[in-house]
Amino acid sequence: MQKFISLKQAQDKLTFSGDNGGLISIEKGVQSFKFSNNMLWQIILRNEKREQVIVSNQDKGILKYRLTSSKIILSWDMSGSFRGLKVNVTIKLKDGLSYWGIEVTNNTMYSIWEVDFPYIGGIGKIAKNSGKDYLAIPWQWGVSVADPIKFISEEELKYSFGNGVERKAHQLAYEYPGMYSMQFLAYGNPDLKGLYIGAHDGDANYKRFGFYGKKNCTEVDYILKNYPEEMKSPGKDYKMPYEVVIGIFDGNWSQASQIYKNWALKQEWCTKGKISARKDIPDWVKETGLWYWNYKYYQRKGEPDDTIPALIDLKKRMKVPMAFHWYGWDDKHNDLEYPEYTLTKKRQKRLDSAIKRFKEEGIRVIPYMNGRLWNVDTKSWYEEDAGRYACLKEGLDETDIKYYIEPYANRPFVAMCPFTKFWQDKVIANTKKVLGYGVDGIYIDQVSSAYAALCFASNHGHSIGGNYWYKGYKTMMERLQKEARKKYPQSAFTSESVIECFIGVFDAFLGYQCASFGSFFNNMFGKDSLTIPLFSSVYHGYIPLYATGATIKKEKEFYLGTAWDACGGIQPSIDGYFTEDIGKKEYEQRLKYMEEWVRKYYRIRDKLIDAEWLPVNDVKTKIEKIELADGVIKKVPAVVTSLWKCKDWEMIFLAVNHTDKRQKMALSFKPNRYGVNGECDLVEVGIENETVLLKSKKEIKFDMSLKPKSVNLYQIIFSEKGGY
């Protein structure tokens, strides 16, 4: 009969196998998660011949434990081939959560290559028949994967270099820093319970994590893969340099994001404070009312004749400051010859003329550059001996050179090592050169989104594992800000998608993946999955987000995408509108819809830019099936909503009807759910004025009838005697 070891405090209880220390269950009152395969940790070891062996808590060894009222220490003294390897796992209970750590004493001939901890094996469905289970993952802005175990068991994803090493068929896992923007996930069911697992690592160490299964599986494993700094050195010990936090929450993913947020906002990357207080972010970025970008149609090369009249038309319509995120400003087709950004005399004249016109119209411009890749077909690759400073995969010896190659536009690009001064100098020099053309900033692609890599180069001055990737890019951006702003004090620097660890060194992030609905997204995460404001729920108010994944060219995608962007905390943004589209009837209603959002946003931008995202608990609206481009069908709310907590005793409620029908919506707002007491007014914000709908109420009950394709903005203003 199996023996059990339990750690219990108040309603929380963790149970382990007395035979091997494997995790059996996590409980909170009547809620519980049970795990079937008795795993807790796994270590991958290598000998001097590079032969790999794996040891886990299930292997032969002596297990001992020490138990107090709030802590357990599980200790393994391994035997046989692994004699000399000792593992200590410490788990503490505090305030309804458990805090996990691991130490490995390595008196063996092996090097510790990878430490998989925690390894929670045998996770089954929460509700076997409901289909409501979800996995909220920090893929870029955030994704809720519907019925994740079913999806993992059936998915046949082909490997793609752009998704990094870890994203493969039958697993939902990525690298951090990289495609994962934060270090937690939430597995839950909105009607029942959820399991929160977060790596509370303020040093942004390289790691891989997620759910791992196999074809036709009925259970999956959660694995957090850690990579020691001295992973090639035999006999080196390992101590995980942060804690993993695990707990049970009520079934909505927003409950899990608040657990992470309570830790995250105390980290280094948030020390500069809210956006309004950040002196490093140029004022014009904060005050931009509409971003224009030409990503989906970059094949047009961003020609001034295609874009300048369109931007001027938009600016006249919207009556707000605009900024242009510009692909195709130089001689090259996008994704061709990084890091060479060249201009013939003819193209230089074209660029100078365009920038002059933008300045005359008061439109800010930030052109594209890449901060990660070098095309090996270029002359500069050989002339500058760039290969010495590229990220290297592990080779057989020092002469066996293997790069991380990414083929864009059928050209071979290599990921450069951000820790090297050579690459930092290259990016900084290119950036300052382009700023000299008179632009307002630079978009430095891939720094805050593309996957990090383990670099095995011996001449770069960094360890293999650890946090060299984060340190390298952080140093590069701090140097760039300091050097560039001596001459260009209002220059802005942005990067692709979102990631927490670079919040403090960029001025804005490209949040376009908020509005992701197409066939690519369906193939990645399943047809019933949706993006969710996971990143905004933690970090809104600390860095601006802009750009949209929805183009005005595709009608339903545009209406739904704009609603998703608006309610997700993205600054108003538009894509796909060109000179040839001016005056076309098919775009008139779409532009009016965008104008309503832009004009209303701009009136309350100072309140919304610092606001805290809150879950919307008090709204009832129906679900509709929307058929988008490429035959993609999404089940989404007919009215997309969001709630924001502002300073000065106010909240902002946003309700966007993206459908072509009038929609009814019941708002039953109970301030005490959000820690607010006292009376409040409900005020509708129009394009030019306000209307008081309800005055001096302790609870707002209001039936709304929203016009088709309308953006509806409300302020909830509290008396100071209540406040929050």
Q: Specify whether the CB–CB gap between 532 and 253 falls below 8 A.
A: yes
Last residue of a domain, one of 577, 608, 639: 608
Q: Is 477 found in the same domain as 591?
A: yes
Q: Which residue has the higher pLDDT, 102 or 522?
A: 102
Residue 525 reports pLDDT greater than 70: yes
Residue 299 reports pLDDT greater than 60: no
Question: What does the pLDDT read at residue 698?
Answer: 83
Q: Which residue has the higher pLDDT, 297 or 572?
A: 572
| Strand duo 441-445 + 492-496: pairing | parallel
Q: What is the pLDDT of residues 140-161, one digit of tens each?
A: 999 999 999 999 999 988 767 7
Band of residue 202 on the pLDDT scale cut at 50, 70, 90: very high
Q: In angstroms, rounded to a whole number, what is the distance separating the alpha carbons of residues 21 and 75?
A: 9
Q: What CATH number corresponds to the domain at position 525?
A: 3.20.20.80
Q: Is 628 found in the same domain as 595?
A: no
Q: Specify whether the CB–CB gap between 195 and 253 falls below 8 A.
A: no
Residue 724 reports pLDDT greater than 70: no
Q: How many domains does the chain have?
A: 3
Q: In angstroms, rounded to a whole number, what is the distance separating the alpha carbons of residues 493 and 486?
A: 14
Q: Is 708 found in the same domain as 663?
A: yes
Question: What does the pLDDT read at residue 295?
Answer: 80
Question: What does the pLDDT read at residue 42?
Answer: 98
Q: Is 624 found in the same domain as 534?
A: no
For residue 394, being part of any structural domain is answered with no
**Residue 561 CA to its chain's centroid (Å):** 18
Alpha helices in 89-238 (DSSP H): 148-154
Q: What is the pLDDT of residues 399-439, one digit of tens each?
A: 677 999 988 878 889 999 999 999 999 999 999 999 999 99
CB under 8 Å to 499, separation ≥6 — which residues? 177, 178, 181, 182, 448, 449, 509
For residue 56, being part of any structural domain is answered with yes
For residue 288, being part of any structural domain is answered with no
Angle between helices 555-568 and 585-608 (to 10 degrees): 0
Q: Is 627 found in the same domain as 660?
A: yes
Number of neighbours of residue 279 by Cβ within 10 angstroms: 8
Q: Is 647 found in the same domain as 598?
A: no
Q: Specify whether the CB–CB gap between 221 and 213 falls below 8 A.
A: yes
For residue 497, being part of any structural domain is answered with yes
b/e burial code for range 609-638 (CB count within 10 A of at least 16 → b)? bbbbbbbbebbebeebebebeeebebebbb
Q: Is 517 found in the same domain as 628?
A: no
**Residue 635 CA to its chain's centroid (Å):** 23
Residue 677 reports pLDDT greater than 90: no
Question: What does the pLDDT read at residue 619?
Answer: 84
CB under 8 Å to 233, separation ≥6 — which residues? 111
Q: In the structure encoding, which two tokens stand for residue 702, read together?
A: 């209001």
CB under 8 Å to 70, separation ≥6 — which residues? 7, 9, 92, 93, 94
Q: What CATH number corresponds to the domain at position 696?
A: 2.60.40.1180
Q: Specify whether the CB–CB gap between 525 and 517 falls below 8 A.
A: no
Name the strands in the sheet holding 405-408, side by side, starting at the edge strand that comes first in the sequence. Answer: 373-375, 411-415, 405-408
Give the global pTM. 0.96
Q: What is the pLDDT of residues 231-258, one digit of tens each?
A: 888 999 999 999 999 999 998 999 999 9
Q: Is 220 found in the same domain as 158?
A: yes
Q: What CATH number corresponds to the domain at position 159?
A: 2.70.98.10
For residue 308, being part of any structural domain is answered with yes
Least confident range from 109-113, 150-154, 390-394, 410-414: namely 410-414
Number of neighbours of residue 440 by Cβ within 10 angstroms: 22
For residue 410, being part of any structural domain is answered with no
Angle between helices 304-318 and 585-608 (to 10 degrees): 60
Of the chain, the percentage scoring pLDDT greater than 90 comes to: 79
For residue 280, being part of any structural domain is answered with no
Q: Which residue has the higher pLDDT, 617 or 117?
A: 117
Question: What does the pLDDT read at residue 71?
Answer: 96
CB under 8 Å to 615, separation ≥6 — which residues? 252, 254, 255, 537, 643
- Helix, strand, coil proportions of the chain in percent (round to 5)? 25, 35, 40
Domain of 665 in residue numbering reads as: 619-718
For residue 381, being part of any structural domain is answered with no
Q: In the structure encoding, which two tokens stand for residue 263, read together?
A: 């830790």
Q: Is 67 found in the same domain as 211?
A: yes
